[in-house]
């Protein structure tokens, strides 16, 4: 995490922040001086994250809701601005994964994955754009190595994350004249509860052990690896970077191993 207060005076909104990468990003932003609004579908874990940030001396407000809900997106952005006076940084992190061949994927499951992983970032970005234009702020999307590489058995997830990468690039071009930057990170396997929450990996310990082989650097990631890159992309150090989709995968995208 950052050891400076480089985000002092900045206002941030992080989706899917009740655990994993989203939680690490929210905590890192708060530690670096930002006030942070966080969203998530589970009110209790979200409240616990907010309380932890507040106890550490940071400013945080929790806004429970589902990123697929257009009204929730608008409400979360409005409450962030009402609470903190503006919005400088939007991190679209909320996401889910699913498992199974496309031939056996139900319409409901396809919609669930695509709507959370792709429609959600669209809804939150659209709601945030007027405020980000005012602040000349930035958006960081949390995509996946699966956005750049196809993998069997997780087709809807790959499609959604590939769409998120292209959404990042299109939005970066649209907002560049306003001084708003848009980037994405593309993590490989990060040890979180993502796979456990959807029961997509029968033996999680075996999955992690296999991940040490599929990532050329020989290990899987931690949420803090993602938060460090997000903070860099949201900082003034990255002021000339927009439209990038940055691998954070120990070299996995170079091999397409699964």
Give the tens place of pLDDT for each residue, 122-156: 999 999 999 999 999 999 999 999 999 999 999 99
pLDDT score, position 202:
79
Instruction: Give per-residue pLDDT as tens, 153-190.
Output: 999 999 999 999 999 999 999 999 999 999 999 999 99
Banded model confidence at residue 203, pLDDT cuts 50, 70, 90:
confident
Mean pLDDT calculated for residue range 7-28: 98
Checking if the pLDDT of 31 tops 80, the result is: yes
Rounded CA gap, 198 and 109, in Å? 11
CA distances in angstroms from 85 to 10, 88, 97, 131, listed in the order given: 10, 10, 34, 10
Average pLDDT over residues 27-42: 98
Using alpha carbons only, give the angle 39, 96, 19 rounded to the nearest 5 degrees.
45
Compare 192 and 196 and report the one with higher pLDDT: 192
Given a cut of 70, is residue 2 above it in pLDDT? no
User: Residue 1 has what pLDDT?
Assistant: 45
Residue 136, pLDDT score: 98
Instruction: Determine the Cα–Cα distance for residues 118 and 100; give it in Å rounded to an integer.
Output: 19
What pLDDT score was predicted for residue 197?
A: 66
Three-state SS for 112? helix
Please check the confidence at residue 205 and state whether its pLDDT lies above 80. yes
Q: What angle do CA 14, 32, 225 make, to 5 degrees?
A: 65
pTM over 0.85: yes
Phi-psi region of 218 (alpha: psi -120 to 50; beta: other; left: phi over 0): left
Active-site residue set: 157
Residue 234: predicted pLDDT: 98
Task: Please tell me the distance from the alpha carbon of residue 84 to that of residue 91, in angstroms, as a whole number.
Answer: 16
pLDDT at 231: 98
Q: CATH code for 11-246?
A: 3.40.50.720
Q: What is the DSSP string of 174-233?
A: HHGGGT-EEEEEEE--B-SSHHHHHT--S-HHHHHHHHHHHSTTSS-B-HHHHHHHHHHH
Q: E strands along the chain, which residues?
A: 11-14, 35-40, 60-64, 89-92, 138-142, 181-187, 245-248
| Coil, helix or strand at residue 140 | strand
For 82-128, what is each residue's pLDDT tens digit?
999 999 999 999 999 999 999 999 999 999 999 999 999 999 999 99
pLDDT exceeding 90 applies to what percent of the chain? 91
Going across the sheet that includes 89-92, the strands are 60-64, 35-40, 11-14, 89-92, 138-142, 181-187, 245-248
Instruction: Write down the domain spans for the chain.
Output: 11-246
Q: What average pLDDT does the segment 186-209 reach?
A: 84
Q: Which residues pair with 190 in a beta bridge?
A: 221
Tell me the per-residue pLDDT of 206-256, one tens digit each, with 9 for 90 and over: 999 999 999 999 999 999 999 999 999 999 999 999 999 999 999 999 998
Q: What's residue 199's pLDDT?
A: 63
């Amino acid at each position: 995490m950052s050891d400076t207060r480089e985000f002092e005076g900045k206002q941030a909104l992080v989706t899917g922040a009740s655990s994993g990468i989203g939680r690490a990003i929210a905590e890192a932003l708060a530690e670096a001086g930002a006030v942070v609004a966080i969203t998530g579908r589970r009110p209790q874990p979200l409240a616990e994250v907010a309380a932890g940030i507040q106890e550490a001396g940071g400013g945080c407000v929790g806004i429970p809701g589902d990123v697929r809900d257009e009204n929730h997106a608008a409400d979360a952005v409005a409450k962030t601005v009402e609470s903190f006076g503006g919005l400088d940084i939007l991190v679209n992190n909320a996401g889910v994964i699913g498992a199974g061949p496309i031939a056996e994927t139900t319409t409901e499951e396809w919609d669930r994955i695509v709507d959370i992983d792709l429609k959600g970032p669209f809804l939150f970005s659209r709601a945030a754009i007027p405020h980000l234009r005012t602040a000349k702020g930035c958006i960081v999307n949390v995509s996946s190595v699966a956005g750049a590489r196809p993998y069997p058995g997780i087709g809807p997830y790959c499609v959604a994350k590939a769409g998120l990468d292209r959404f990042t690039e299109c939005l970066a071009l649209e907002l560049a004249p306003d001084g708003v930057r848009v980037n994405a990170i593309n993590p490989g396997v990060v040890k979180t509860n993502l796979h456990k929450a959807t029961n997509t990996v029968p033996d999680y310990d075996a999955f992690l052990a296999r991940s040490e082989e599929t990532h050329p650097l020989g290990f899987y990631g931690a949420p803090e690896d993602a938060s460090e890159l997000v903070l860099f992309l949201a900082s003034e150090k990255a002021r000339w970077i927009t439209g990038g989709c940055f691998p954070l995968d120990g070299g996995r995208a170079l091999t397409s191993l699964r």
